[in-house]
Structure 1
Amino acid sequence: MKYLISIILIASITSIIYGFTIQETDVVFAHKCIGFGTVGIFLIAMPLFLITVSKGKNMKDYMLNEENIRRMQGKDSRSKKKE
């Protein structure tokens, strides 16, 4: 999966760069290349990357709720028992 994301990212960046280089000769095709490159990065590569990175992690640990705020401030009941 890591290699697929890398290939999509490289292809998208290449498409964007190619679109900017041919912008003076063929404007319509250049805009299409830039658009497909942007779609590749933000709608394909980024969600795939986020899915692979967040696999197996508990999203409740990253939410800002009362318990996590107390834990960040050091006022958790477990930290009181240690003192």
Structure 2
Amino acid sequence: MKYIIILLFLVSFGSILAGYLMDLDCSEKLIGFGVTGLFFIVFPLFSYYRWKDKDVKDYILTKENLDKMREREGDTRQK
């Protein structure tokens, strides 16, 4: 999955660069396909890849998590 994301990123970025550097009739389309690929394909795949094994509850500020944070903060202040 990691290599697919890297490959798609390079293809999208290459498409954007080719659109800017080459003077073709379809330069604007190359830039558009590159940007679209980055935002609708590469970024969601990257986000899924990074978050697939994580528990979202660990990142939500609930009363229990706030209490844990306060306990840790108190421990570091006493040292």
**TM-score band w.r.t. shorter chain:** 0.7 to 0.9
| Length, aligned pairs only | 73
What SS class does the counterpart of residue 56 from structure 1 fall into? coil
Aligned to 2:50: 53
1:38 aligned onto 2:67: no
* Amino acid aligned to 2:6: S
Whole-angstrom distance in 2 between the partners of 1:64 and 1:16: 39
**Unmatched 5+ stretches in structure 1:** none
Identity among equivalent positions (%) equals 38
Aligned to 2:11: 11
Find runs of 4+ consecutive structure 1 residues off by over 4 angstroms: none
Whole-angstrom distance in 2 between the partners of 1:34 and 1:64: 40
Whole-angstrom distance in 2 between the partners of 1:42 and 1:64: 28
TM-score (norm 1): 0.76
